[in-house]
Amino acid sequence: MRLILVAGSTATAEIDGISAAGADDDLLVHTPGADAELLTYGDVVRAPEMPTSPSGCPTPALVTRAARELVGFDVVAVDGGLRVPTGAPTVTVGARPGDDIRERDPVPSAPGSFEAARQYGRKLPDEEVVLGETVPGGTTTALGVLRALGEEWSVSSSLPENPLTLKEEVVADGLEASGLRPGDAANEPKTAVRRVGDPVLAVVSGLTVGALESGTRVVLGGGTQMIAAAALVRHAGVEAPLSLATTAYVADSVPDLRVAAAELDLGLTVSDPGFDAVDHTGLSGYAAGVAKEGAGMGGALALADRAGVLNDVAATTLESIARLSAHNGP
Amino acid sequence: MRLILVAGSTATAEIDGISAAGADDDLLVHTPGADAELLTYGDVVRAPEMPTSPSGCPTPALVTRAARELVGFDVVAVDGGLRVPTGAPTVTVGARPGDDIRERDPVPSAPGSFEAARQYGRKLPDEEVVLGETVPGGTTTALGVLRALGEEWSVSSSLPENPLTLKEEVVADGLEASGLRPGDAANEPKTAVRRVGDPVLAVVSGLTVGALESGTRVVLGGGTQMIAAAALVRHAGVEAPLSLATTAYVADSVPDLRVAAAELDLGLTVSDPGFDAVDHTGLSGYAAGVAKEGAGMGGALALADRAGVLNDVAATTLESIARLSAHNGP
């Protein structure tokens, strides 16, 4: 079993109020690489510190790593447009950092990296892969992709109060800058992701299409960003079985998720790791809906559930937080 | 436990008669990436096929992978100057493909990548790492490094008849092109590896120095190329404990290996995986001294021995060869 984390960036994250994936803007640029390092090594290596949201929620990569320590699955990171070098090993598919979607052509690398990721996905020898993403600002670009494809669902947020009005405004500006109306990129996934998306969505959807084409089962581990990835796959004309794995916290607090999963014909796996009972404000924040998803967390929890160790993930995550805070703390 | 494979290239391999790490020159350029893919996925992904020597010996990466399947250690590949893209995830330290050592300045990336690898090695959270290398032509560049440092030991070969006279000539030409006499780069490891070495040796030695500086134990898994890496580390003034792990076939057929290990103050671990009793010409070729070492094989066998599964490596390797031959074969 292999979890593939696609890590990248979009300048859309720098818009005030959009993202909480990092305590401040200077650290936010390191978040995707730090997540890949945490999954690979159980610690940061080149990144300056463990990513934490402004409200103190630790990155979901720690949960994915805890599940990995318990289950023993392999991890591969793919460079989905990283802005700074990471100490994690990454596969290269030609993705470049994405620009602000209010620019006319923010992700010119999208069509090429979609195809390179598709070729890579076709060659994977695995029977099944779980895909994760880490890209600050990614729910806004996911919303952009959904609107460009003509889908009506909404997206969640890494912030306690989802700045949905701001996101809709940014997406409206992005569509206008690209000369697109909602739905104009229906059945044209590469156009949607190039004009109002981010490089990670291009790679995740290309990888999914390629893996499915060669008979590898794919589980998308995540929330509304993975809904956007699945929409791109369906708009590419791929009807093969595909599933989404997320947490109970996301599934219960984002009403559109179940609707979208059904309309996109996605199998849905929902796992509850019991973070509500945990004596750690940051981690229990997930159960309170403060942080949401990312770094393949939902997929990793599904694997932990299959292996019968879901109830051990919280304790293992807390041990990691304690250890990392001790030697990387302020 | 983590095995770190440094994969790269030197145009020195293209000199007629130098290397057997690949059935012919067109495939040889893919060997390091293919080795990294085999370790990561158990199969080739972007590389065209499983590397095999002209006499039919399968790449030692298959043995390392078999040990990994039995023991479960993590693998990280580092880009030590790959010429073609690999489907394996790699860490970037700025290494570029090496030129023929008969050029004046064949590895200009060596000092920078030595330092970047050193920084990376310092940050590794592991208590112990095993390092491996894969670089066709690497025994010739190892000989170059040894001579530049003023060391007298000889090197082995991936060919049944070691073309040692040719290697000595190439090294003599390389030293002359760089304006160096033997020993002129003593205590100047970056000069030695830049002028008559290869980018993989720069990364392996830098990584070793950094890991040792931060208290991580290092096992060099390999034969005479790892002797050259150890010599670079010692000539950098690092006296910390360091060990070499190789096969009984190398230790028994390369007399200088034990001498060099002793003079460099290296702990020596020798493992015998019993390939002499195996009914497969390619694999038993290792026992007959036809192929030698590489891709961390000696280190992986040491880990298998520690885990009590050394005697299972041969059978697991044969299963891999059968599976890979079935779907990648001619």
Measured distance CA(B63)–CA(B257) in Å, rounded = 21
Q: pLDDT tens digit string along B237-289? A: 999 999 999 999 999 888 889 999 999 999 999 999 999 888 888 888 888 87
pLDDT-based confidence at residue B150 (cuts at 50, 70, 90): very high
In a domain, A181, yes or no: yes
In a domain, A80, yes or no: yes
Contact present, B220 and B226 (Cβ < 8 Å): yes
User: Would you put residue A270 in left (φ > 0), alpha (ψ -120 to 50) or beta?
Assistant: beta
Q: Is residue A330 predicted with pLDDT exceeding 50?
A: no
- Which of B44, B73, B90, B119 is most worth mutating to test chain A (most A CB atoms within 10 A of its CB)? B90
The chain-wide mean pLDDT, for chain B, equals: 92
| The predicted structure's pLDDT at residue B156 | 76
Q: Which residue range(s) make up the domain with A214?
A: 2-325
Q: Is residue B329 predicted with pLDDT exceeding 60?
A: no
In a domain, A61, yes or no: yes
Residue in B with minimal Cα distance to A123: B45
Closest CA to B135 of B153, B164, B150, B155: B155
Minimum-distance CB partner of B91 among A42, A76, A87: A87
Which 37-96 residues of chain B touch chain A by CB within 8 A?
Answer: 40-43, 45-46, 72, 74, 76-78, 85, 87-92
Q: What contacts A308, CB < 8 A, 6 or more positions away? A: none
Contact B123 A45 (CB under 8 A): yes
- Which of B45, B71, B118, B327 is most worth mutating to test chain A (most A CB atoms within 10 A of its CB)? B45
Q: pLDDT tens digit string along A130-155? A: 999 999 999 999 999 999 999 998 88
pLDDT-based confidence at residue A23 (cuts at 50, 70, 90): low
Across A50-96, where does the E strand assignment appear? Answer: 74-79, 90-92
| The predicted structure's pLDDT at residue A22 | 58
- What's the helix, strand, coil split of chain A in %, to 5? 50, 15, 40
Amino acid A308 reads G
Q: Is residue A81 predicted with pLDDT exceeding 60?
A: yes
Measured distance CA(A45)–CA(A43) in Å, rounded = 6
Hey, what are A213's tokens? 């084409």
Which chain A residues are within 8 Å of B125, Cβ to Cβ? 41-43, 45
Best mean pLDDT range from B147-156, B199-208, B315-324:
B199-208
Which chain A residues are within 8 Å of B90, Cβ to Cβ? 89-92
In a domain, B236, yes or no: yes
Contact present, A38 and A63 (Cβ < 8 Å): no
pLDDT-based confidence at residue A291 (cuts at 50, 70, 90): low
Block residue for tokens 């291009």: A202
Identify the DSSP state of B276. Answer: G
- What's the helix, strand, coil split of chain B in %, to 5? 50, 15, 40
Contact present, B328 and B68 (Cβ < 8 Å): no
| The predicted structure's pLDDT at residue B24 | 67
| The predicted structure's pLDDT at residue A235 | 98
Measured distance CA(A210)–CA(B272) in Å, rounded = 41
Residue A123 contacts B where some CB pair is shorter than 8 Å:
yes
In a domain, B64, yes or no: yes
Q: pLDDT tens digit string along A83-117? A: 999 999 999 999 999 999 999 999 999 999 999 99
In a domain, B329, yes or no: no
Contact A85 B92 (CB under 8 A): yes
In a domain, B330, yes or no: no
Q: How many residues does chain A have?
A: 330
Please tell me which residue, B235 or A255, carries the higher pLDDT value: B235
Mapped onto helix, strand or coil, the DSSP state of residue A153 is coil
CA A108 to chain centre: 20
Q: What's the whole-number mean pLDDT along residues A48-59?
A: 83
How many domains does chain A fold into? 1
User: Would you put residue A218 in left (φ > 0), alpha (ψ -120 to 50) or beta?
Assistant: beta
Contact present, B158 and B292 (Cβ < 8 Å): yes
Contact B89 A87 (CB under 8 A): no
- Cα maximum dimension of chain A: 51
ipTM: 0.88
Block residue for tokens 């600002």: A137
Which range among A157-166, B58-67, B92-101, B109-118 shows the weakest confidence by mean pLDDT? A157-166
- Which of B123, B124, B324, B327 is most worth mutating to test chain A (most A CB atoms within 10 A of its CB)? B123
Minimum-distance CB partner of A87 among B40, B77, B120: B120
H/E stretch holding A287: helix A281-287
Amino acid A42 reads G
Task: Determine what percent of chain A is predicted with pLDDT higher than 90.
Answer: 78
Residue B129 contacts A where some CB pair is shorter than 8 Å:
no
- Beta-strand relationship, A217-221 and A90-92: unpaired
Q: Is residue A319 predicted with pLDDT exceeding 80?
A: yes
Paired strand residues for B111 = none
Q: Is residue B330 predicted with pLDDT exceeding 80?
A: no
Q: Is residue B12 predicted with pLDDT exceeding 50?
A: yes
The CATH number assigned to the domain holding B294 equals: 3.40.50.10210
Which range among B127-136, B272-281, B319-328 shows the weakest confidence by mean pLDDT? B319-328
Q: At what angle do helices B61-71 and B31-41 cross, to 10 degrees?
A: 20
Hey, what are A303's tokens? 């694997």
In a domain, A330, yes or no: no
Q: What's the whole-number mean pLDDT along residues B23-30?
A: 76
**Dihedral Cα A24, A25, A26, A30, nearest 10 deg:** 90
Which chain A residues are within 8 Å of B45, Cβ to Cβ? 120, 123-125
Residue A125 contacts B where some CB pair is shorter than 8 Å:
yes
Task: Determine what percent of chain B is predicted with pLDDT higher than 70.
Answer: 96
Measured distance CA(A53)–CA(B185) in Å, rounded = 51
Q: What's the whole-number mean pLDDT along residues A153-161?
A: 75
Minimum-distance CB partner of B125 among A41, A88, A125: A41
A16 by Cβ neighbours in 10 Å (0-12 / 13-18 / 19+) ranks as exposed
Paired strand residues for A76 = A4
Contact present, A81 and A198 (Cβ < 8 Å): yes
